[in-house]
Amino acid sequence: MIQKIATIAVFTALEGVRNRLIWVLGATLLSGIVLSSFSGSMAVTETPQIQLGVLSSFLRLSTVLLMTLFVLNSQAREYEDKGLELLLALPVPRSGYYFGKLFGFALLAVLVALCCSLTVALFQAPLTQTSLWGLSLFYELMLVIAFCMFAFIAFHQVPVAFMLVMAFYVLARSITTIQLIGHSPIMPSRDISLRFINQLIDFIAYLVPSLDQFTRAHWLIYGSGDGQALATVLGQGSIYLLLICSASLFDLYRKKI
C-alpha cells in the first residue's frame, strides 16, 4: 500500500517538474527579488524591513496562487483523461489514490517553501524566523492544496473550484478582522440582524483556520515569531489538514466513479 502511494506521489511530483512548475517558481522568486529590491531602493530608512515585508507577502500570495492553479489543473487533466478511473481500476484503494496525490503535491510544496525560505534568507532575515516562516508557508500551502483537492472532487470544474478555494483563502485570512469589526461596540448591538450576522461569523470562524496567524511578515521584520506561533502553525495546520483530508475522502468514497 505504501509503495503504491509512493509511486503515485512520485509521478505527481514529476508532473509538476515536467510541467515547468520549477520554471514558473524560479520566475516568481526572481520577480519577488526584483520587486523587493526596487521597494528597498526607494526607502529612506528601514530598507531591509521593507524588502523583507514586500518579498515575504509577495511570495506568500504568489505561491498560493501558483499551487492552487497547478493542483486544479493537474486534477482536471487527470479527470478529463480518465486517469482517475484507470488508477481506481487497479488494486489501489481510493484513500491510496488520494494520499498518493496529496503526498506528491506535498513534495512540491516542500520544494516551493524551501526555495522561498532561501530567497527570504538572502535579505538578511534571521535564520530561526526564516525557518518558522518557511514551515508556516509549507503548512499554508498544504491547506490550500488539500482544499483544492476537496473542491475539485466535489465539483469537477476548475472555475467553480478555483473560486471556492479563493473564497476559502481570503476568508481564512480575514476572518479575525471580520470578527473584530463585527463586534465593534459602536455597532448597534441590539440590532437582531447584526447579532445574527455576528453569530454566523463566529460559527464560520469555527470552521475555517486562522490563516492570519500563519506565515506572518511580522516574524521576519520584527523577529517576533516564538514557540507559541510555531505551536499555532503546527496545531491548527495539522488539525485542519486532517479535517480537509477526511472530508475529501468522505466525498471521494461517496461518489460513483
Report the alpha-carbon distance of residue 31 to residue 20 in Å, rounded.
Answer: 17
Query: CA 60, 61, 63: angle at the middle one, nearest 5?
Result: 70
Residue 77 CB, nearest approach to other proteins (Å): 25
What are the CA-CA distances from residue 25 to residues 18, 28, 37, 195 (Å)?
A: 13, 5, 18, 45
Under rule CB under 8 A, residue 45 binds other proteins: no
- Smallest distance, Å, CB 176 to other proteins? 5
**Cα–Cα distance between 64 and 146 in angstroms, integer?**
12
Interaction of residue 184 with other proteins, rule CB under 8 A: yes
Among 30, 61, 86, 242, binds other proteins (CB under 8 A): 242
Q: Among 27, 86, 191, 235, which residue interacts with other proteins (rule: CB under 8 A)?
A: 235
Sign of CA dihedral 201, 205, 207, 210: positive
Residue choice 49, 95, 131, 157 for contact with other proteins (CB under 8 A): 95
206 binds other proteins (CB under 8 A): yes
Grid cell locating 94: 481510493
Verify binding: residue 256, other proteins, rule CB under 8 A. yes
Residue whose CB is less far from other proteins, 98 or 105? 98
Residue 188 C-beta: closest distance to other proteins, Å:
13
Report the distance separating Cα 47 and Cα 169, nearest Å: 30
Question: How far is it between the farthest Cα atoms of the chain?
Answer: 63
State in angstroms the smallest separation of the CB of 105 from other proteins.
19
Q: Which of residues 215-234 bind other proteins (CB under 8 A)?
A: 232
Q: Which stretch binds other proteins (CB under 8 A): 32-40, 70-78, 135-143, 247-255?
A: 247-255
- 190 scored as a contact of other proteins (CB under 8 A): no
CB 43, CB 50: distance < 8 Å: yes
CB of residue 246 to other proteins, shortest distance in Å: 4
Footprint of other proteins on this chain (CB under 8 A)?
95, 176-177, 179-181, 183-186, 205-207, 210, 232, 235-236, 239-240, 242-243, 245-247, 249-250, 253-256
